């Protein structure tokens, strides 16, 4: 990836986000940490911290580096959920925090080794971090560390010492840095970062060494209770330490925001067991996800071609295992729209998988993804076929199956019918999923396609509006809902409930818009439906 000024600014912004002001404390300075059970932050309510996080997260989600890859996201959330459950069982996530915080883990398309926590329960992970880890335990150690920053409210406690106005300044600084990262104007970027650093120094907003040690200690215990190997944390520290001593070159912002010390490394080794080392377990699933991260983190054609060509190299010259190398080659072929390279990668993956234990789910999902991208099976150049046999039962589908097989039903209906996938079943499953996951924009977009295919224009407009709202595009959602409302009023015999639902959502989105703009209502009329169309 070219190290452009914009890339450097984004890295600086992410590095600052990673610790949310991770400046070293003055020599000898100590920050008293509250005892377990003591209020973590009396100065910043949970709701205020969540609103601050929402403002920043919306901008991060709009950034081109934000990545919602259903397969990789599903794998990461599979690691994230046990950590959350363990934190709840340990009492680190109370009922109020559970309800008010987002607890969202998201991906950043960047090859640097980094992860960061935002206010309000958001944690971001760079693809470079996933690609660098040899085991899931190493990866989970970083996730558990960042989660502990959230549960112990280190961000709020850093802000609290400077008062409420600092929180507003922090939000402004972070939003300014993200905006600067999109700009090609280096002076603007430098000014934003310099201003942010000045604000941090003035407000004394920093993760202290005590906070870092607390996140290490609690994160390592948490990962152990969630079923992961605690030796993954010293193994991750060792990986970072060795890589940093060899060469940083801007690829390790995590080390600048979370500086390693001999004491931190030694303490993590002691907690894991002095004589223990992390077991490099045979974990084909993690290897496939490492391969996926390596492909997606650098979309340049040259980098993708290198993954395809790696299939021809002797095993000793490969970075990944045979299965990982084949998976990367197949996915790179998809990205390049090269059917021959994709088929070769899939064939090599099938060969490498022979004799492996475990589910073929990730292999099948990759083949569905490839078949949707390269459908010309009967064309002279050929395409990619869907996996043989029926997919899992619809009621057992998770998000990747819904997004991929759901498209198959719309785009390749005859093959879906052969596999006995009923469109009505997927339609109902989508609607049920979105009741409990209303912020899932890609699934709202898919539901809108199903409603359109069923000839239900009003429902299609509503789903399209929800997709816009879930993406943070409130104005677009309001315009679409107004269009839906106009159509509803012109439709004869329409159930009044439909119009009431639209009016309710219009009111809710107007309130969100007002909150975002910082306006306060005096008489509650902000929720009133507009009767003019």
Q: pLDDT at residue 326 above 60? A: yes
Q: Write out pLDDT tens, residues 75-87.
A: 999 999 999 999 9
Q: In Å, what is the CA distance from 2 to each residue of 16, 290, 294, 532?
A: 21, 22, 16, 51
Q: What is the pLDDT of residue 12?
A: 42
* Cβ-based neighbours of 508, under 8 Å, separated by 6 or more: 527
For 385-434, give the DSSP string: PPPSS--S-GGG--HHHHHHHHHHHHH-HHHHHHTT--HHHHHHHHHHHH
Report the alpha-carbon distance of residue 349 to residue 344 in Å, rounded.
Answer: 9
Q: Comparing 29 with 352, which gets the higher pLDDT?
A: 352
Residue 108 backbone dihedrals phi, psi, to 5 degrees: -120, 125
Asked if 77 contacts 128 with a C-beta cutoff of 8 angstroms, the reply is no
| DSSP letter (8 states) at residue 20 | T
> CA dihedral in degrees (486, 489, 493, 496; nearest 10)?
110
Question: What's the pLDDT score for residue 254?
Answer: 61
- pLDDT computed for residue 496 by the predictor: 75
Per-chain mean pLDDT for the chain: 80
Q: Which of 311, 298, 306 is nearest to 349 (CA)?
A: 311
Q: 130-134, 148-152, 207-211, 279-283: which has the minimum mean pLDDT?
A: 279-283
Share of the chain above pLDDT 90, in %: 51
What pLDDT score does 258 carry? 67
Q: Is the pLDDT of residue 521 over 50?
A: no
Q: Check whether 34 has a pLDDT greater than 50.
A: no
Note whether 280 and 134 are within 8 A (CB): yes
Q: How does residue 477 score in pLDDT terms, banded at 50, 70 and 90?
A: very high
| Residue 364 in this model has a pLDDT that exceeds 60 | yes
Distance of alpha carbon 66 from alpha carbon 45, whole angstroms: 28
Q: What pLDDT, on a 0 to 100 scale, did the predictor assign at position 22?
A: 35
176 has a pLDDT exceeding 60: no
pLDDT recorded at residue 170: 57
**Distance, CA of 344 to CA of 339 (rounded, Å):** 9
DSSP sequence for 76-118 = HHHHHHHHHHHHHHTTSS-HHHHHHS--EEEEE--SS--EEEE
pLDDT reported for residue 381: 65
- 381 vs 327: CA distance, rounded Å: 22
Instruction: Provide the b/e sequence for 11-26 (b: ≥16 CB within 10 Å).
Output: bbbbbbbbbbbbbeee
pLDDT at 512: 87
Q: At what angle do helices 209-225 and 262-272 cross, to 10 degrees?
A: 20
Task: Evaluate if residue 89 carries a pLDDT over 50.
Answer: yes
More confident residue, 277 or 518: 518
Residue 380: CA atoms inside 13 Å, Cβ hemisphere, count? 0
H or E stretch at 352 = helix 339-353
User: What's residue 240's pLDDT?
Assistant: 83
Which pTM was predicted?
0.83
pLDDT classification of 51: cutoffs 50, 70, 90: confident
- φ, ψ of residue 491 in degrees (nearest 5): -85, 120
Which span out of 14-23, 51-60, 114-123, 456-465 was modeled with the highest average pLDDT?
456-465
* Percent above pLDDT 70 for the chain: 73
* Distance (Å, whole) CA 211 – CA 216: 9
Q: What is the pLDDT of residue 301?
A: 97
Asked if the model's pLDDT at residue 7 lies above 60, the reply is: no
Residue 243 has pLDDT above 80, yes or no: no
Residue 34 DSSP class: P
Band the pLDDT of 434: cuts 50, 70, 90.
very high
Q: Which of 140, 11, 112, 125 has the alpha carbon at shortest distance from 68?
A: 125
Q: Is the sign of the CA dihedral 127, 129, 135, 138 positive or negative?
A: negative
Q: DSSP for 189-217, please give it.
A: HHHHHHHHHHHHHHHT----HHHHHHHHH
Q: Which of 54-68, 202-216, 472-486, 517-531 has the highest mean pLDDT?
A: 472-486
Residue 42 clears pLDDT 80, i.e. is over it: no
What residues are paired with 115 via a beta bridge?
A: 125
Alpha carbon distances (Å) from 423 to 28, 332, 367, 447, 474: 65, 31, 21, 11, 30
442 near 68, Cβ under 8 Å?
A: yes
- Reported as a pLDDT band with limits 50, 70 and 90, residue 514 is confident
How far lies 56's CA from each of 17, 118, 170, 427, in Å?
Answer: 10, 8, 10, 33
At 33, the pLDDT band (50, 70, 90 cuts) reads very low
In our burial notation (b when 16+ CB lie closer than 10 A, e otherwise), range 386-410 reads bbeeebeebeebebbbbbbbbbbbe
Residue, of 39 and 490, whose pLDDT is higher: 490
Least confident of 138-152, 190-204, 211-225, 330-344: 190-204
Better-scored residue on pLDDT, 490 or 106: 106
At 183-209, the pLDDT tens digits run 545 455 455 544 544 444 333 334 567
Of 1, 7, 123, whose CA–CA distance to 60 is shortest?
123
Residue 31 — very low, low, confident or very high, per pLDDT cuts 50/70/90? very low
**Taking a C-beta distance cutoff of 8 angstroms, is the pair 30, 146 a contact?**
no
Residue 354 — very low, low, confident or very high, per pLDDT cuts 50/70/90? confident
Q: Which long-range contacts (CB under 8 A, 24 or more apart) does 240-247 make?
A: 240/113, 241/265, 243/113, 243/132
**Phi, psi angles (nearest 5°) of residue 198:** -60, -40
The burial class, CB within 10 Å (0-12 / 13-18 / 19+), for 289 is buried
CA distances from 424 to 287, 431, 471 (A): 36, 11, 26
Model confidence at 257, pLDDT cuts 50, 70, 90, reads low
């Amino acid at each position: 990836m070219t190290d452009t000024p914009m890339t450097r600014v984004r890295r600086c912004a992410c590095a600052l986000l990673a610790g949310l002001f991770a400046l070293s404390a003055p020599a000898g300075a100590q920050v008293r940490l509250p005892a377990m059970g003591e209020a973590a932050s009396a100065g910043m309510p949970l709701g205020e911290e969540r609103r601050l996080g929402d403002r920043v997260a919306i901008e991060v989600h709009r950034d081109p580096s934000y990545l919602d890859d259903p397969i990789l996201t599903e794998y990461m959330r599979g690691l994230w959920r046990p950590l959350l459950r363990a934190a709840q069982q340990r009492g680190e996530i109370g009922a109020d925090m559970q309800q008010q915080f987002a607890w969202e883990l998201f991906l950043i398309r960047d090859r640097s080794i980094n992860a960061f926590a935002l206010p309000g329960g958001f944690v971001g992970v760079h693809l470079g971090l996933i690609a660098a880890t040899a085991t899931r335990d190493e990866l989970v150690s970083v996730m558990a560390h960042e989660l502990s920053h959230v549960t112990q409210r280190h961000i709020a406690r850093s802000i609290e010492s400077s008062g409420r106005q600092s929180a507003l300044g922090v939000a402004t600084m972070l939003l300014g840095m993200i905006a600067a990262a999109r700009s090609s104007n280096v002076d603007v970027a430098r000014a934003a970062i310099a201003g942010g650093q000045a604000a941090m120094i003035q407000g004394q907003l920093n993760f202290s060494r005590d906070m870092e040690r607390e996140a290490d200690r609690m994160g390592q215990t948490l990962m152990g209770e969630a079923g992961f190997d605690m030796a993954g944390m010293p193994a991750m520290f060792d990986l970072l330490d060795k890589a940093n001593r060899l060469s940083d070159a801007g690829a390790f912002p995590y080390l600048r925001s979370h500086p390693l010390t001999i004491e931190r490394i030694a303490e993590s080794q002691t907690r894991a067991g002095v004589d223990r080392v992390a077991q490099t377990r045979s974990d084909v699933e993690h290897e496939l996800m490492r391969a996926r991260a390596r492909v997606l983190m650098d979309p340049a054609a040259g980098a993708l071609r290198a993954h395809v060509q790696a299939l021809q190299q002797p095993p000793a010259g490969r970075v990944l295992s045979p299965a990982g190398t084949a998976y990367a080659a197949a996915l790179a072929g998809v990205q390049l729209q090269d059917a021959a390279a994709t088929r070769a990668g899939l064939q090599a993956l099938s060969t490498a998988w022979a004799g492996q234990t475990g589910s073929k789910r990730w292999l099948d999902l990759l083949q569905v993804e490839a078949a949707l991208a390269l459908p010309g099976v009967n064309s002279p150049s050929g395409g990619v076929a869907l996996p043989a046999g029926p997919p899992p039962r619809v009621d057992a589908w998770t998000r990747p199956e819904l997004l991929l097989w759901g498209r198959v039903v719309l785009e390749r209906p005859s093959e879906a019918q052969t596999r006995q996938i009923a469109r009505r079943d997927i339609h109902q499953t989508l609607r049920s999923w979105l009741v409990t996951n209303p912020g899932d924009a890609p699934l709202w977009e898919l539901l809108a396609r199903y409603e359109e295919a069923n000839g239900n224009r009003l429902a299609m407009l509503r789903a399209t509006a929800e997709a816009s709202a879930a993406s943070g595009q409130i104005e677009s959602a309001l315009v679409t809902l107004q269009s839906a409302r106009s159509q509803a009023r012109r439709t004869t015999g329409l159930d009044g409930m439909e119009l009431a639902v639209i009016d309710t959502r219009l009111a809710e989105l107007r309130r969100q818009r007002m909150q975002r703009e910082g306006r306060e209502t005096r008489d509650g009329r902000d929720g009133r439906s507009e009767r003019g169309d």
